[in-house]
Structure 1
């Protein structure tokens, strides 16, 4: 999903006809039709009732229209701020948990440094409890964390995206064949338990909602150790797509499989002390991430992603 598709969709919804939308946008009708079909495929929903009289929004289409208009308004507002924010100077202290620091932040830090050269970002990698304490004591301005692990009422959060959890198995494993893997079958396999960022606690929480228990043969804080052991056929695990890679450090392959009972997503987002007054650097970081993840949130609104 992209902003171009949303613009084409809005134009069609507002004009009621593909031909009129194409004229307004000064593009071909096939471009508009293709964008709408791509959106319908992405959202797995019919957005228009098509007839000889034109295009009439369906119920999912009406929901999308409201959300799409809000997203484009936010993107427009963020674009107007970009030039002014590029001149912002100052220091900001940002904390992050291990998983976020290793698998999410690096590419964004590079973009932020290029877009806002006046920002002096001080990073701190800590566990959730230390980050919460640091936010509440004003040692950190903001944090990028697994918001699905936070529940402190004095900390405000904004989830940027939700990463599904799936079963990891070596390529060609029996559980990768025949549709979704059953928890009962997974319980019969050696299980590699990741413990970093409260992963073990989360794992046991959703396993406890079944009648099964994982046969844990190793607990480790290393994602790469988990990946290697799975790829080598020494066990299986359930982890999020964000940390998944289809090969181990030794070059062996692994794959993911959906499960019959869907585990909770791993949610990543921003956190700050409730009622904090945003400094200019804090506002820049907040707006950057909201702009970067505006479109993915659309998929979430329709139950995907």
Structure 2
């Protein structure tokens, strides 16, 4: 057993696949399989539950992941403490909603590159629930998600509060005008989207439980369909004012309980912060 075994172990957990872990570690699958088998024999426990689609951590694997993270973080700290300089190096994986990534992602990447040029960041988008699960299962170091969240294993810091609005075609006179259509037509993201949930809640508050849905998988697609007059949607106001102010659409405020969304940054409490993650958090003064 050596430190590289733990890196391979983390790669399998991160990718949910022995094949993808091998690619990420620039080795062959047989070596990955052998190193995981070696760890399982060393700890006398199955570390992964294998299915036809992916591999996931067992309870024993989750426990070992905590220690693996600690070992790797301590090693990085030792390199910095003993090395010739105090340059922060490493990689972090951060998740966010697509809308958050579009508005704040470039700024974050630029700020990190300016202040910590040797820290690499992998930035990915997903739904709120998937992002939470990715952090809980150690596949993301941190994620920006809509509040509220009450999970004891997760640390959280308030990042920002934003306005959520109804986005409609320019010929729509009011929110009530939308409800005159039978059925009401809306452009939505996939199930699990927080904006779709708010749209559903607003319609239910108006006594509408069924409506015509057109599902899209991109912000651009949603805006295009709204502009074409097919229906309306619910999105952050900042997205519209920043990227789509010249389009044939307009916005209406939603009731306060639906029209305000707070975003928090989450990460796991049970593992020490890596130097790279500390560097990222320092951009927002979260650790003061």
Q: Aligned partners of 1:153, 1:128: CA distance in 2, in Å?
A: 17
Whether contact under 8 Å (2:187, 2:226) holds in the other structure is no
Q: 1:247 to 1:277 in 2, by over 3 A?
A: closer
Q: How many angstroms apart in 1 are the aligned matches of 2:178 and 2:256?
A: 11
Q: Which residue of 1 aligns with 2:276?
A: 281
Q: 1:174 Cα deviation (Å)?
A: 1.7
Please name the residue that 1:51 is paired with.
none
TM-score normalized by the length of structure 2: 0.57
Q: Tell me the distance in 2 between the aligned counterparts of 1:252 and 1:122.
A: 31
**Counterpart secondary structure, 2:111:** helix
Asked if structure 2 preserves the Cα contact closer than 8 Å seen for 1:228 and 1:248, the reply is: no
Residue in structure 2 matched with residue 107 of structure 1 by the alignment: 107
* Structure 1 runs not aligned, ≥5 long: 1-85, 176-180, 295-305
Residue 248 of structure 1: how far off its partner (Å): 5.8
CA distance in 1, matches of 2:213, 2:138: 41
Distance 1:125 1:238, change over 3 A: closer
| Contact 1:187–1:215 (CA under 8 A) maintained in structure 2 | no
| Post-superposition offset of 1:113 | 0.7
| Alignment: residue pair count | 198
Q: CA deviation at 1:105?
A: 1.0
Aligned residue number for residue 203 of structure 2:
207
Extract structure 1 runs of 4+ deviating beyond 4 A.
245-249
Aligned partner of residue 164 in structure 1, secondary structure: strand
Structure 1 length as normaliser, TM-score?
0.54
1:285 Cα offset (Å): 1.4
Counterpart CA distance in 1 for 2:123 and 2:225 is 31
Flag structure 2 segments of 5+ consecutive residues without an equivalent: 1-85
Distance 1:174 1:209, change over 3 A: closer
